[in-house]
Amino acid sequence: MTTAICPGSFDPVTLGHVDIIKRASKMFDRVIVAVLVNLAKVPCFSIDERIHLLEKATEGIENVEIVGFDGLLVDYAAQNNATVIVKGLRAVSDFEYEFQMALTNNKLNPDIETVFLTTSSENMYLSSSIVKQVAQLGGDISPFVPECVHDEILSRLKKGENKK
Ligand code: PNS
């Protein structure tokens, strides 16, 4: 049985994330979606909020579970017998950062491989930052986020609160 991890900030979940999670769920027996701390970013949604939104957005995908973790990704992977890290790659601009993380994780634990899935063309430009910006400026985020979490994300972002 192969367990894969889809790690990320998911601040908040987008249609691009759901696309990668769904495709990973078809490739691996078990997929753990791990909401992790990215020290380079100040989050807008709390870890619990992000987990809740992901749980709703991935409801019905049998082999997917959502977790939160505040340590090193490779440590979480090893503790949970995950041997693969799955990341979505949107554009050339993602490559350097993702390549650096993949090499670092491989150095930290050579038993864990990183696999990149190319984002589907309709999600090439999409990011959580774009969603936050559009919502906070009163734009329509329905093309960017799963319908089942649209209202929650919008009302939360409109409040303009900043939670950790
Ligand atoms: O969605 P993001 O912000 O691009 O995801 C980045 C994330 C959260 C996967 C990355 O920052 C991470 O793995 N954080 C956990 C801490 C860690 O293991 N850092 C070393 C990896 S270079």
Q: What is the DSSP string of 54-115?
A: HHHHTTT-TTEEEEEE-S-HHHHHHHTTEEEEEEEE-SHHHHHHHHHHHHHHHHH-TT-EEE
Sheet with 3-8, side-by-side order of all strands: 64-69, 30-36, 3-8, 82-89, 113-118
Residue with tokens 């999670």: 21
- pLDDT tens sequence across 33-83: 999 999 999 999 999 999 999 999 999 999 999 999 999 999 999 999 999
Evaluate if residue 97 carries a pLDDT over 60: yes
CB distance 8 to ligand 1 below 6 Å? yes
For residue range 105-126, what is the model confidence (pLDDT) as tens digits? 999 999 999 999 999 988 888 9
d(CA 60, CA 43): 27
Ligand 1 pocket, 104 CB below 6 A?
yes
105 in contact with ligand 1, CB cutoff 6 A: yes
Would you state the pLDDT for residue 93?
81
Atom number of ligand 1 nearest to Cα 38? 11
Atom of ligand 1 minimally distant from the CA of 41: 3
Give the three-state DSSP class for 5.
strand
Query: For 38-51, b where at least 16 C-beta lie within 10 A, e where not — what string?
Result: eeeeebbbbbebbb
Nearest CA to ligand 1 atom 22: 101
136: Cβ contacts below 8 Å, ≥ 6 apart: 157, 158, 160
Catalytic residue among 30, 52, 56, 90: 90
pTM: 0.95
Has 128 been annotated as catalytic?
yes
Of 38, 89, 115, 132, the one to substitute when testing ligand 1's pocket (max ligand atoms within 8 A of C-beta) is: 38
Task: Give the residue whose CA is nearest to atom 4 of ligand 1.
Answer: 8
